Amino acid sequence: MQFDPRRTLLLYAGSSHHELAEEVAKHLGVVLGEVDIHRFSNGDIYTRFLTSVRGADAFVLQTHAEPVNEHIMETLIMIDGLKRASARRITAVLPFFPYSRQDKKHLAREPISAKLIADLLHTAGADRAMSVDLHAGQIQGFFDIPFDHLTAHPLLLEYLRNEIGNDIVFTAPDAGRVGVADRLAKKIGGPLAVVHKRRDPRVHNEVVAHHVVGDVEGKRCFLVDDMIDTGGTIVAAAQALMDQGAAEVYCGATHAVLSGPAVQRLQDSPIKKVIVTNTLPIPPHKWFDKLAVVSVGPIIADAVRAVFADESVSALFDGEN
């Protein structure tokens, strides 16, 4: 893609989610750039760009699926390679931001790993970064370079309208998601409910759901979260809603981490449909009957196009990102 004969957009994919990168490239009308990525016998990562990148606007698309740490290192090495090859501007496109749950200290002597990731990207040579639905909006402030926060919420809302309808109670599975659930509720003029949750900061991936705030009796509820990891939060919240007399429970999340017992928990839960996006690859063994996947390829492509053309990214989301 060329908007100016002196400027060229180059899109490169890391090894974590080639299918999404191909989709973004298709929407942009470009071909993925050629890059050699392989591992030495001791596990060291090697990358080399096979064509000139001098003076180009280079975008590195890498989501951080398992193995997370390998994909982080691969991203940094690719960015370093582009910097040393004289790319004009380097943008890290990270559909799923790694270590996003470690955005603050809960206990003494803990790290703030999300800040560390931001520093590493900057040090490696990234001039800009973008991601989809951060776990905490404050992560944007960890960057000393421009950061574009994309959101998949319009995709989830469109799926709801087309497949389920507007007669639904938007529900936050905890206090941290109230703002998101409230914005979605306002979009269609629907009511809001909240599931009060208590989590022990010393015990990871374990949730105790308590009472529901809001009227859900006899109604269809839609639980919205940024990610589903082991499924504990969503399943506990869904059970709390059913215990309060909800007629049906659906859930939606941008990032389908689906680790550990998540698939079995969700399949066995009272949730009728689990709607996620493809910010992370979903291998065949993680697919189950209740799962529906919508693609973030078009919104990432639109954001890349806007950055390349020096246009507003927030305008793509009516300023609600």
CA-to-CA dists, residue 215 to 105, 122, 168, 183, 191, angstroms: 34, 46, 11, 18, 8
Catalytic residue, chosen from 26, 186, 197, 219, is 197
Question: In the annotation, is 219 catalytic?
Answer: no
Contact 154, 317 (CB under 8 A): yes
Q: Which residues contact 277 (CB under 8 A, 6 or more apart)?
A: 132, 152, 155, 156, 254, 255, 256, 293, 294, 295, 296
> Is the Cβ–Cβ distance between 271 and 234 less than 8 Å?
yes
Closest to 12 in 3D by CA, of 65, 57, 73, 69: 57
Q: Where are the beta strands (DSSP E) in 154-306?
A: 169-172, 192-198, 208-213, 220-228, 248-256, 271-277, 291-294
* Spatial distance between the Cα atoms of 10 and 198, rounded to a whole number of angstroms: 46
User: In the sheet where 128-132 sits, what is the strand order?
Assistant: 9-13, 57-61, 89-94, 128-132, 147-150
132/48 Cα distance (integer angstroms): 27
- Report, as residue numbers or ranges, the catalytic residues: 197
